[in-house]
Structures are given as C-alpha cells and as structure tokens.
Amino acid sequence: MGKRILNGTAWALAALLALAPVAARAAGDDAGALVRKAVDALPKKPFTAQLKLTPAGQPTRELTLDHKVVGGARASYLEVTAPEALSGIRFLFLEHPSGQPEQYIKVAAARNAVQVKDQVRKQPFLESDFYVSDLVEPQVDAYEYKLVGEEDLLGRKTKLVESVPKNSANEIYGKTVVAIDPQDLLILKRSFYDLKGNLLKVWTIDQVEKVDGVWTFRKQTMTTVPAKTSSTLETPEVKYDVELKDSIFTPEHLRR
C-alpha cells in the first residue's frame, strides 16, 4: 500500500548498525498499524449508492450498490442498470475478516451465478481500467508493510505505505503503494506495480466530502500507465443507515 521515508539525525556508525534492525521493525509496525486503522475506519453503516463508471472512450455504465456488514464480512451487491447492452449484470463481493474475499458475477443470459477465480479476477471490471480484484480490500495480514514517504493530496499530508505480499503465488501485483491521510484515515491514492516492479496502474481520489457524517469518495480515477488509458468512478447519490436484508448479500440473490 503506500510509502514513507523516516527522517532522522546523524548517528555514529556503531549506533546506527546496532539500532537498524529495531528501527526497521518499528517502521513496519507503524505502517501495518496505519493500514489496519484505515481499513477499520471504513464505513460500517449500511448504505445504498448510485455509481457511474466511465471507461475511456466508452459509454458510462450506471450501477446501483447496496453495502452492509453481514456476519463480520463487508458485503457489496452491485447491479448494472445502463447501458441496455450491459443491464442486468450483477456482482457480489464478500470481504471476510479472515480468509480470502469472495467475488461472484451473474450475467443476464446465464441461469446461475459464477464465483470469480484466479485469471478472471485480473480481468477489467465492465471493460474499465479497474480489475475485478481492485474492488475488494485485500487481507491486511497477508502483506508486509513499510513507511516509505509522504505526499500532499487534496490539501492533506498523507503517509505513503508500501505493501508486498508475503506469498506472491497467484498475486496480480508485486507491490502496492497507498497514500493514507493519518488524520481522517482516508486512502487517497494507490499505485500498483507488476511482478517485475514496473508501475502498472494508479488509482486516485479526485473528490471527497462528508455525507451524513461519513467521508465519502465522490469521484475516483484509475489510470493504466502503459496503455495511457483512464476510467472514472463517480458516486452522485448515497444514503447511509438504510434498511437492507441480509439475504441480498448471497449468491442465491444474484439468481433471482
């Protein structure tokens, strides 16, 4: 997730060598703690939203979103409402506090929902620069973290934290760098690197505001660096503290 370089004073060589392992561990602990706080600060109130996803050079995809914490898992149900050619496609994302996230998709012409696996997770979401896997939070404990820098974003001084997977098997990214505002615990930017260390994509938050006391991302952009393409994701409408049945967030609901 992001980066931050720790500044310090000059040390005698012997003292520097003696304290280096301790400092490294402390920096890693601080980075991991900041990431965990940011994830824990995500809205826990159930909400509904209208989304507009616009891939470069393509019509805007309009979606509805229902979100709720169900059985400890952050659950999101999405349905495409426009354009007509994509209308009826449904998605279910389940982010478990422990264990791998689950992702399901149901297309209008199919009878059953399909659980998204491996290579499909690396495919563009509705032909945009977002991957399916980008839309759920990874397991915090599955990564090593370190503070590697700072960056000013939207008038906020953010800490940059780098995350590297402990097990790179089946990973899409070799590392991710995120910019976190430590005051409001908002993740305002993500930089994704491929397994060779090349910058692949950059996800930025372009507009954020409080709605019913909850910090809400109004506009986001994902840019694919090699292809020089970008997609925007907007949230023109959102309502918090709404009544949502748990049954909405099941694969069976996708088949209705």
pLDDT single digits (tens) 60-79: 999 999 999 999 888 999 99
Assess whether pLDDT exceeds 80 at residue 182: yes
Residue at 12: amino acid letter? A
Distance CA 50, CA 80 (A): 10
Is a pLDDT exceeding 80 seen at residue 21? Answer: no
Q: Report the pLDDT averaged over residues 93-103.
A: 82
Tell me how far apart the alpha carbons of residues 85 and 62 are, in angstroms, rounded to a whole number: 12
122-136, 184-198, 223-237: the lowest-pLDDT one: 122-136
Residue 97, pLDDT score? 76
Give the mean pLDDT of the chain.
Answer: 84
The pLDDT value recorded for residue 49 is: 96
pLDDT at 214: 92
Contact 89, 62 (CB under 8 A): no
Residue-range domain boundaries for the chain: 40-254
Considering only residues 198 and 40, tell me which one the structure prediction assigns the higher pLDDT: 198
Which one-letter amino acid corresponds to residue 85? A
Select the more confidently predicted residue: 137 or 250.
250
> How much of the chain, in percent, has pLDDT values that exceed 70?
86
Q: Does 232 have pLDDT greater than 80?
A: yes
Average pLDDT over residues 186-190: 95
Give the tens place of pLDDT for each residue, 136-155. Answer: 766 788 899 999 999 999 99
Report the C-alpha gap between 189 and 185 in whole angstroms.
12
Interval 12-35 mean pLDDT? 48
* Most confidently predicted of 90-94, 110-114, 119-123: 90-94
The CATH number of domain 40-254, selected from 2.30.29.30, 3.10.180.10, 2.50.20.10, 2.40.50.1020: 2.50.20.10
Angle at 128 between CA 72 and CA 214, to 5 degrees: 40
pLDDT for the residue numbered 187: 94
Please report the pLDDT score of residue 126 as a whole number: 93
What is the phi/psi pair of residue 176, to 5°? -135, 140
Mean pLDDT in residue range 199-223: 95
- The answer, as to whether pTM is greater than 0.75, is yes
Asked if pLDDT for residue 4 goes beyond 50, the answer is: no
